[in-house]
Chain A
Amino acid sequence: MMGEIPFSIPAKFAAGLAEGNLMRFGTIIKDVGSGRIVAHVQETGLLQNLVGNVVGFPFSPISAVSSLGTNMQLAVVTKMLASLQILQIANLGLSLTGIGVSMVGFQMMSKRFDGIQSQMSSLAKNMEYQFFELKEREFRLHQSYVNSLLTDAGTALLYSGSNSQTEWLRVSSGLGLEASFYQREVEHLLTLQQFDENVFRDLVQLFSICSTARIKCLLLANELPAAKKESENIAKQYNLTFDHISPLCLAKQTMGREEGASQSYDQRLRVKLPASKKLVSDIRDAQDSALCKPLLIECLIEKGISGREFLKQLDAETSEPIVCLETQK
């Protein structure tokens, strides 16, 4: 299917994973006996085209994606579900930071960014949180800036010579600032008495899109050591932001000051806990994924694979939604 880059399909590892000789952690498949990394799991452009527009996509269970079958190519959906099953991926939380490095096109990233942002605005209007009333204008400013950066990054593909590289580095820097903004907003949200899970998810996704696009720009500019360093920083930021959250705290914050509740505090807490547990589990998956990303880029450096070529091949893939970059070929 692909050129010189040693990609293979997940089915190749099915037996090893089923027998326990191989195991998957985050986006890495490793040999249990030797501890050696065997492959890096990668999503292709096909997967992103398939599920990129699904509302709440990274937080959806796999079963939710299967319902897309009526609107999408059934064969591709089936293939994707089979791959996820082989890789023992129970939910799509891993996709929060992209499986591996997200190969989603900048245009789609921008579209998704807009979708999440409008979803947030409607939530703000419905709930009239003071936090969002004050922030809404500021959010719109950031939204337009991120959109323009993503458009510029896409256009840079057409630039000649070193101009494209210069542009990607500029965009990468801007996206870094935007990622910081959304990270701070996530942190702020976690300190509020009235925690809203939907808003939290949206903000986390916006943070994730900016971070992922930043890495993608560095890879396109073939600045692999910088991309590796930056992905390490991003993983560290994820840990700083999310390590301290717990299902119990989130459940209590979600309850906030619910008025007129007919149930006791204990009962309400029990009702809220399952959703909080799921949310925290998804976030932990995203942390794992972010922690694996520097290892992928390290592999690209070791194998002398061009970042741009790597992304180009994944974006161009039309038959496989998920592939594996083998480390030993």
Chain B
Amino acid sequence: MFWSKKKKNNDIVETNKEIKTSIIPPPDKVNALRLRRTVQDWKDKHTVVIEMHLRRELICLMTDIDHELEEISMADTFFNLKKVNSDVIQPLFESWVSRESAHLIKDAQKELTLIHSLELEAQSSNPLNDINTQSSHHHLLDVGSAAAMGLGGLATIPVLGTLSITSTGGLFGFFAVSTISLPILGAGILAVGSLVAISGYKMSGVKTRAIKRYRDNLNQVIIKIVLPNINESETNRAAPQKKPPPPSLSEILQSRIQASSDKIIGELDL
């Protein structure tokens, strides 16, 4: 079968490695203010880049999924859709999330490192200045606690906790590990697969109708996982007692940028 057993990756995907850089704080106030502004611009730029990139790439993902769905046989449509979902769609989605997250974080990290270098070059006359790049750490996410987030949830990364321990005497902690729990990511998609597989028995229509229904459900779930849901956030504002929806992939990645920016600026403002 076309979905012949692929190696299921239930491990955690690391979208980037933790990079901690220690620098001496800028020697004068103006340098500190300049660094502050540069970091703000970096944050403003990358929050936009993340969302717009995901919106753009989501279309490619949907096309890839459509392509896979076209290959499904009639029998699989009615009897094995759940398996198609877990063996084909879910790995495809997981791979996309890993790839795009890693790309976006790496891009932002690269630019942040460049900002650092520029600041350090400006201080090169001071012999006390030094860069001390510490070894990278691989933080593993507690899958158990992440699972409690439920359907469609993305594991939140303990970025603030990680950053807080790096703050000592001018030690700047930048990106902590961005991990995404793949089993959690897949939960929403699996649910769609189950739903359509069951309802498939009741349908008297042909393959195309079943596939269309499956595709529509799948698209909705994927969009909900990847992009912030405007309607939900508005509903939530109107009824604040309601439990807020889990953060989307875009929101999670943007929060990494925001947290890093806050951290650096927090140190500069001390």
- Residues on A lying within 8 angstroms of B by beta carbon are 25-26, 28, 30, 32-33, 35, 37, 193, 239, 243-244, 246-249, 252, 257, 265-266, 269-270, 273, 277, 280-281, 284, 287-288, 291-292, 295
Contacts and interface: CB of A to CB of B under 8 A. Distances in A.
B33 A280 contact: no
How many B residues are at the interface, by size bracket?
20 to 34
Interface in B182-217: none
A292 B51 contact: no
B55 interface: yes
Nearest to B126: A35
Given A28-B30, A246-B44, 16 more contacts: A25-B33, A32-B122, A35-B28, A35-B30, A239-B269, A246-B48, A247-B48, A248-B47, A257-B234, A269-B52, A270-B52, A273-B52, A277-B48, A281-B44, A291-B36, A295-B29
A35 B237 contact: no
A177 B251 CA distance: 36
Contacts of A30: 30
B44 A280 contact: yes
B40 A284 contact: yes
A288 B37 contact: yes
A291 B122 contact: no
Contact of B37 (A32, A247, A270, A284): A284
B40 A25 contact: no
B41 A284 contact: yes
Contact of B48 (A32, A248, A291, A295): A248
7 contacts: A243-B40, A265-B230, A269-B52, A269-B55, A277-B48, A284-B44, A291-B33
A277 B40 CA distance: 12
Given A33-B125, A35-B28, A239-B269, A247 B33 contact: no
B27 interface: yes
A40 B203 CA distance: 76
A270 B55 CA distance: 11
Nearest to A192: B237
Contacts of A295: 29-30
Interface of B: 27-31, 33-34, 36-37, 40-41, 43-44, 47-48, 51-52, 55, 122, 125, 230, 234, 237, 254, 258, 262, 265, 269
Nearest to B50: A248
**Chain A interface, >50% SS class:** helix
B44 A266 contact: no
Given A33-B125, A35-B30, A284-B37, A248 B51 contact: yes
A21 B234 CA distance: 51
Contacts of B265: 243
Nearest to B250: A248
A25 B30 contact: yes
Contact of A37 (B30, B44, B122, B254): B30
A243 B37 CA distance: 10
Given A25-B30, A25-B37, A37-B30, A277 B44 contact: yes
A257 B230 CA distance: 10
A25 B125 CA distance: 20
Contacts of B269: 239
Nearest to A257: B234
B265 to A, nearest CB: 7
Given A28-B30, A33-B125, A35-B30, A193 B41 contact: no
A130 B265 CA distance: 36
Contact of A246 (B47, B55, B237): B47
A28 B32 CA distance: 13
Contacts of A246: 43-44, 47-48
Nearest to B28: A35
B128 to A, nearest CB: 14
A193 B48 contact: no
